[in-house]
Amino acid sequence: MGWLTMSRYHMGGHKTAKDYLDAQFTYSHEVDGTIKGLKVLASSCPQNRTYYAAAQVMVDGIGKEVFAIVCKVMWNPKSKSGEHFGYKSMDESVGPYEDSCPGHILDLLTPTDREHALDWRVRCRANLARRGRKIDDGDRIRLAQALTFSDGHVGDEFIVVKRGRRLSFRDPVTRCGYAISRFMERDWAIVPVTKVHKTIFA
């Protein structure tokens, strides 16, 4: 489906994107004497950007398969046009590009033989593994692919500058600082510190 947008005043009293979508995907209705519907078992919508949910098919009150729902989310409570909230929904069977589903939601999904859903689950698990890697202040990292920055610099090796949960990166030669978007989801490796590296940073 396409995007559905609305004013926050038309969200049925729900104050967040997550609350609204949880309600939208939990429902039941009668079809030929059978009560059918969906029930959201768990969901997440960090920073009101992407909604992930494990939804269970319900038939006459009995839980059946559990699959993933993914929604792109637009959240702008200060919108002057009145389009405060919008979403575009899909399920895992279409192989969504958004593949940062939390592990506790993936763990609830029942087995599937749908090719695109299987591929999506593999990508999500791979991203979880990448984000779970440990990195410390002062580590030297090498990216699998060099990046080009707005100042024209092209580089694949950087020194990590870690302040709490905030990461930034310093070029080992010029010492210029850079930000790398979605760093924990990228392919990179820690470069072992050598005597040469120690001399450079002495």
Among residues of the chain, what percentage have pLDDT more than 90?
Answer: 68
Residue 18 has pLDDT above 70, yes or no: yes
- Cα separation, 40 vs 192, in Å, equals 45
Q: Cβ neighbours of residue 165 under 8 Å, at least 6 residues apart?
A: none
Q: Contacts from 37-46 at CB under 8 Å and sequence distance 24+? A: 39/63, 40/69, 41/66, 41/108, 42/104, 42/105, 42/108, 43/18, 43/105, 44/18, 44/101, 44/102, 44/105, 45/16, 45/17, 45/18, 45/21, 45/73
- Cα separation, 146 vs 160, in Å, equals 16
pLDDT in tens, 146-198: 999 999 999 999 999 999 888 999 999 999 999 999 898 888 999 987 644 44
Q: Encoding tokens for residue 192?
A: 């072992």
Average pLDDT over residues 90-110: 95
| Residue 44, CA atoms < 13 Å, CB-side half-sphere | 11
Rg (CA), the chain: 22
Residue written as tokens 């399920």? 91
Question: Can you give the pTM of this predicted structure?
Answer: 0.77
Q: What is the DSSP letter of 185?
A: G
